[in-house]
C-alpha cells in the first residue's frame, strides 16, 4: 500500500514485482522491526548514560541567603566535607570576601595566593586556584578580601554575570559536587554564584526575620531564572541553629513545610559548641569531632542531598556516611512520604512525635 501511494509509477502487477513482492514486503517488515529495536536500544542507552553513577558533569550547589549569621559558611564547609567523607570528589569555592570558608579549613590569609578574585577577573584558571585540604577528596578555591572590589571592577565588564560559570566550567567533569559559599548580600558576587549553580541550598534560622529575608532571595532566584539561568533549582531549605524545644522554631518549620513541601530538608542542624569551635582550629566539624551532634547533622544532610539526586553519585556514599561514628540521633523533620497537611494549631514534629510543650524559664535555665 505504501509503494502504491508514494510510487504510482510502479505497477505491482508486473512480472518482476509479482515474483518478488512477498519477499520485498517481508524485508521491509523485518527492517522496520530492526529499526524499532535500534531506536528503543538507543533510548535505553541514553537513559542509562544519563543515570550513570559515573556521569562526568558535577552538580554545582550555591549556599546562599542574603541574611547574615544563618550558618551559610558553616553549612558550606561541613556539607562539602561530608560529601568528601562519602568518597565523592568535592570542590568548595569561597565566594565571600570575608574568606571565612578559607580560614575555616586552616588556610591563612595570603594576598599572593590565586583566589576566586583572580577567577572572576579572568587572571587565572580554576586548575591554578585549587588547594588540597585535610580530607583526601576535598579541594578548595580560596577567597581574599580583594574580592570585594570585583563588585565595582566588573560593572562594565563583558559577561559579568557569567564569570564564575565560565571559570568553573573546566572543573565540572573532575568534581561530582561543587559547593559555592556566597556572601551575605544579593550583590554581583552572589549573582555570579547563582548563575553558575545548578541549585541553591538555603540555610536559615527558625526565627521570624529569617522568613522575611527568604522572600527576597526567592524573588532574586525567579529573576535569575527568567533572565540568566532558567535551570536554576532549589536544592532545599535547611534549618540551622535549630532548637526543637522552642515553639517559635516549630512554627517557623511548619510555615516552611507548608510553602516548600519536600524542598524543606528533613535534617535540621542544632546549636552545637563543637560546630562553633571547629573553625578556630581550621577544621571541618567531622574532622575536629566526628561524634558531635553538629558533625552528625551535616553527614545526614549530605546523605539526604545525595539520595535526592536523579541518579546516585556513587554506589558507596550512603553506606559510607552511615558507618561514620555517631553518638546519637539528630533532629529530623520527618518522613519524606508524608502528604498530610500541617496546621499551626498543636504544632508537632514531622516524625509524628508528641506535641512540643512550652518550657518554663526555670527549665530553660537548667537546660542552659
How many structural domains is the chain composed of? 1
- DSSP conformation class of 146: G
Inside any domain, residue 158: yes
Task: Give the separation between CA 74 and CA 183, rounded to whole angstroms.
Answer: 12
This prediction has a pTM of 0.71
When computed from its CA atoms, the radius of gyration of the chain, rounded to whole angstroms, is 27
Q: What is the pLDDT of residue 287?
A: 95
Q: Which of 93, 155, 137 is nearest to 119 (CA)?
A: 93
d(CA 35, CA 41) in angstroms, rounded, equals 10
Candidates 313, 311, 302, 328; CA nearest to 238 is 302
Rounded Cα distance between 261 and 256, Å, is 7
Q: Across residues 89-103, what is the average pLDDT? A: 96
Residue 88 lies in a domain: yes
Whether 358 and 247 have beta carbons less than 8 Å apart is answered as yes
pLDDT of residue 203: 95
Q: Which residue would you say has higher pLDDT here, 301 or 365?
A: 301
**C-alpha–C-alpha distance, residues 15 and 66, integer Å:** 82
**Residue 41 within any structural domain of the chain:** no
Please state, in angstroms and rounded to a whole number, the distance separating the CA atoms of residues 56 and 361: 54
- What is the C-alpha to C-alpha distance for residues 316 and 309, in angstroms, rounded to an integer? 14
Q: What is the DSSP string of 58-118?
A: PEEEEE--SSSSSSHHHHHHHHHHHHHHTT--EEEEE--TT-HHHHHTTPPP-TTS--HHH
DSSP state of 155: T
Residue 153 DSSP SS3:
helix
What pLDDT band is residue 343 in, cutting at 50, 70 and 90? very low
DSSP string, 157-204: STTGGGHHHHHHGGGTTT-SEEEEE--SSSSHHHHHHHHH-SEEEEEE
Task: Confirm whether 116 is domain-assigned.
Answer: yes
The C-alpha atoms of residue 176 and residue 154 are separated, in whole angstroms, by 29
**Residue 97: pLDDT above 90?**
yes
For 236, the 3-state DSSP assignment is strand
Query: How far apart, in Å, are the Cα atoms of 208 and each of 204, 212, 249, 265?
Result: 10, 7, 9, 19
Give the pLDDT mean for 132-159: 92
Residues spanned by the domain of 293? 56-362
* CATH number for 248: 3.40.50.300
Establish if 28 belongs to a structural domain: no
For residues 122 and 105, what is the distance between their CA atoms, to the nearest angstrom?
Answer: 25
Higher-confidence position of 244 and 351: 244
The three cell numbers locating residue 244: 526543637
Instruction: Give domain status of residue 18, yes or no.
Output: no
The 10s digit of each residue's pLDDT in 260-305 is 999 999 999 999 999 999 999 999 999 999 999 999 999 999 999 9
DSSP output for 330-367: PPB---TT--S---STT---TT--PPPPPPPHHHHHHH
Percent of the chain exceeding pLDDT 90 equals: 53
* pLDDT in the model for residue 49: 32
For residue 4, being part of any structural domain is answered with: no
- Indicate if the alpha-carbon torsion angle 165, 259, 187, 177 is positive or negative: negative
| φ, ψ for residue 233, nearest 5 deg | -120, 165
* 3-class state of residue 284 by DSSP: coil
Q: Is residue 307 part of a domain?
A: yes
pLDDT at 313: 52
Find residue 242's DSSP bridge partners: 270
Q: Which three cell numbers stand for residue 118?
A: 583572580
Amino acid at each position: 500500500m505504501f509503494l502504491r501511494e508514494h510510487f504510482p509509477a510502479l505497477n505491482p502487477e508486473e512480472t518482476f514485482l509479482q515474483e518478488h513482492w512477498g519477499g520485498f514486503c517481508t524485508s521491509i517488515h523485518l527492517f522496520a522491526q530492526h529499526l524499532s529495536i535500534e531506536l528503543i536500544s538507543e533510548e535505553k542507552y541514553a537513559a542509562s548514560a544519563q543515570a550513570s553513577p559515573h556521569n562526568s558533569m558535577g552538580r554545582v550547589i550555591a549556599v546562599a541567603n542574603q541574611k547574615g549569621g544563618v550558618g551559610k559558611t558553616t553549612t558550606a564547609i561541613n556539607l562539602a566535607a561530608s560529601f568528601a567523607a562519602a568518597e565523592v570528589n568535592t570542590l568548595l569555592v569561597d565566594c565571600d570576601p570575608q574568606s571565612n570558608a578559607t580560614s575555616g579549613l586552616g588556610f591563612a590569609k595570603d594576598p599572593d595566593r590565586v583566589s576566586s578574585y583572580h577567577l572572576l577577573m579572568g587572571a587565572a584558571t580554576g586548575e591554578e586556584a585549587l588547594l588540597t585540604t585535610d580530607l583526601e577528596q576535598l579541594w578548595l578555591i580560596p577567597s581574599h578580601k580583594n574580592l570585594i572590589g570585583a563588585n565595582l571592577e566588573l560593572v562594565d565588564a563583558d559577561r559579568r554575570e557569567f564569570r564564575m560559570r565560565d571559570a568553573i566550567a573546566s572543573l565540572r567533569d573532575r568534581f561530582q559536587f561543587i559547593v559555592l559559599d556566597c556572601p551575605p548580600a544579593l550583590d554581583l558576587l552572589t549573582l555570579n554564584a547563582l548563575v553558575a549553580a545548578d541549585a541553591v541550598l538555603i540555610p536559615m534560622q527558625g526565627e521570624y526575620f529569617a522568613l522575611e529575608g527568604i522572600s527576597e532571595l526567592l524573588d532574586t532566584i525567579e529573576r535569575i531564572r527568567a533572565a540568566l539561568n532558567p535551570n536554576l533549582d532549589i536544592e532545599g531549605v535547611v534549618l540551622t541553629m535549630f532548637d526543637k524545644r522552642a515553639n517559635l522554631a516549630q512554627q517557623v518549620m511548619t510555615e516552611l513545610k507548608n510553602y516548600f513541601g519536600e524542598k524543606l530538608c528533613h535534617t535540621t542542624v542544632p546549636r552545637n559548641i563543637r560546630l562553633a569551635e571547629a573553625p578556630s582550629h581550621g577544621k571541618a566539624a567531622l574532622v575536629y569531632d566526628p561524634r558531635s551532634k553538629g558533625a552528625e547533622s551535616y553527614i545526614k544532610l549530605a546523605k539526604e542531598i545525595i539520595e535526592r539526586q536523579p541518579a546516585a553519585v556513587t554506589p558507596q556514599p550512603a553506606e559510607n556516611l552511615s558507618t561514620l561514628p555517631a553518638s546519637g540521633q539528630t533532629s529530623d523533620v520527618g518522613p519524606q512520604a508524608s502528604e498530610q497537611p500541617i496546621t499551626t494549631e498543636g504544632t508537632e514534629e514531622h516524625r509524628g512525635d508528641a506535641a512540643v510543650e512550652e518550657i518554663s524559664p526555670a527549665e530553660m535555665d537548667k537546660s542552659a
